[in-house]
Amino acid sequence: MKKGNFFTRLFKSGIAVCLLFPFCIEANSFEPLIYLRPNETPVFTELYQRYGLLNPPAVHVYDSSIYIGQPGEEGGLLIRSSQTYFNDVDKALQAYHSRIGNLGQFLNTDEQYIFSPSNGSLQIIFALVYAVVTSEPDKKFLFVEKIPFYSFHEHAVSYRPYPNARFQGFNDPQEIKLNPDEVLVEFVTSPNNPDGKFRQPYTDAKIIIADFVFAAPPYGSEGTGYVKENLEWLSKAKGEGRHVFAFNSVSKALGKPGYRLGYMWFPIADSYGSSIFTNYFSYLWKLTVGDSTPGVAEALNLMSAIIALPDAGQSLRSDAFNTIVRRHTILQAEFLKRYPGSEVSSIAGSPTFFARLNSPDTKTMAAKDVLLKTYNVAVDNGNTMGATDEYVRINLCGYSGDLAEFLNRLSGDKKYKAEDLLIASANHCSHTTIHSNENSRYVVIPNDCNIDVDAENADVTIILPQFINYQYSNLITIKKLDSSPHAVTVQTDAFTATIKEKEKPLQLQWTQPFFLNGQWDKR
């Protein structure tokens, strides 16, 4: 082997060169990019696949040709169909939250409310800030939150910007400098994003925006979402006459940000809430766009399927909790081994890993850039969360394979596999039979596993569409049951295969690692 070829191959190996050369941090070229920023939650896709929940029964069906309006318009709802739609969504969500035991965080059923869905929790955050600030333009408002905090809470205040509002993060409430003419508003996120810790109000603010998107199993130190603790401080705050606006989202609770469904039961019985509702409504449904019927239907179908399980999904939620705990534990060990002296702020049970990186490189660049340059991994900068550039936030809810590859790069060894980073107590494998006298064409869905084809009466075509952004499908086995001359044709976007003989199955699997170009592979 030529000397030049040897070094070329060595550098391409990435991990090997890090073990041999001290300058590898500057020289390595790990490929591909690993995306571990926390706006994606495909660990739930992996779990739903194991539980057979990728295509739940469509028990909620909505006509998308109907315009969806919002409750609260002057004079009542103008569109009768919207009332029917909102009532069904409201009822389904209450049933789900009642079953898993956290409805009380969002709704007191004894008080008047207006059910208010949106296209995500982010829209609700911006709408609440808008409603508070614009409903009393002659007043000034100081929005505060304990550090570290979810960055978009600050963005909601500063993005426009509002002439009568500002934001301040604090480590100690004594740091808050409230001007005499300012009204205090506090954001409370519990479990907190990005560290997973329990939070409650730390000030005497009369207005509280409660971000409860992680306030459900499987998050928090015990995998309970701190529901009991949250209910205690909510009861105390309301008893003191504080105005609390709590909301939720399926992005984190179900791991389904693509559904685009955030919601709150707006406390119209609260006198202050009633006074700002018009502006809240205006932002949510007149200045922006509300939810989508297909996304909402899919979210409710998944919720219905989960609570229809014998244990109402408790084992699924336990698997999710144990998975993110294991991921946090392993990442913390490797992170501290690679960067001694670093400080981990997040807890096991947090959906993200939040830590201060101890490295000489942070003197000249942000910690997120150190990790990008060193390992070709994209993570978040802690400075957007009130911390410093030395902090990073790493998603623990991504695909197992992506996190395993990052851990291997971090540890300098091929010691982790995807299966090490997923705990699942179920392994559902569906069985579907296609009869040619009933159906000569079948389109494969993500839940599929075993497909038997009776082609006695006619040829049958099995179509495998691209499963975009699914890292792996089930291993799909397609088998011809009969001895007739009719063929079973299997079509993908890249190739066509034919099964002519009985009991000679074809096995295929969709793969798309690291969100690159996916393909169907024959096994």
Determine contact, residues 353/396, Cβ cutoff 8 Å. yes
Q: Are residues 145 and 228 in the same domain?
A: yes
**78: pLDDT strictly greater than 80:** no
Domain with 386 in it: 31-46+314-421
Determine, yes or no, domain membership for 131. yes
Query: Does 100 fall in a domain?
Result: no
Same domain, 38 and 149: no
Average pLDDT over every residue of 425-446: 96
**Average pLDDT, stretch 321-330?**
99
Asked whether residue 282 falls in the same domain as residue 218, the answer is yes
Strand-strand pairing, 182-189 and 140-146: parallel
Nearest alpha carbon to residue 245 among 131, 109, 137:
131
Q: Which two tokens stand for residue 488?
A: 């079973």
CB under 8 Å to 178, separation ≥6 — which residues?
Answer: 142, 184
User: Which CATH number belongs to the domain containing residue 363 in this structure?
Assistant: 3.90.1150.10
| Residue 341 falls inside a structural domain | yes
d(CA 136, CA 162): 12
Among 421, 455, 478, residue at a domain's last position: 421
CA distance 226 to 214: 9
Residue 25: pLDDT above 50? no
Task: Return d(Cα 299, Cα 255) in angstroms, integer.
Answer: 10
**Residue 74: what pLDDT?**
56
End residue of a domain, out of 224, 257, 290: 290
Contact 41, 255 (CB under 8 A): yes
CATH number of the domain within which 448 lies: 2.60.120
Calculate what percentage of the chain has a pLDDT beyond 70.
92
Name the domain count of the chain: 3
Average pLDDT over every residue of 24-29: 49
- Domain co-membership, 156 together with 174: yes
Quote the mean pLDDT of the chain. Answer: 92
CA pair distance 314, 309, nearest whole angstrom: 9
Could you tell me the pLDDT band of residue 385, with boundaries at 50, 70 and 90? very high
Distance CA 273, CA 276 (A): 5
- Regarding whether 458 and 409 lie in a shared domain, the answer is no
Token reading at 23: 């300058």
Mean pLDDT of all residues in 259-270: 95
The pair of structure tokens assigned to 100 is 């898993």
Residue 227 placed within a domain? yes
Same domain, 249 and 116: yes
**Residue 395 is encoded by which pair of tokens?**
């998603």
Q: What is the pTM for the complete model shown?
A: 0.91
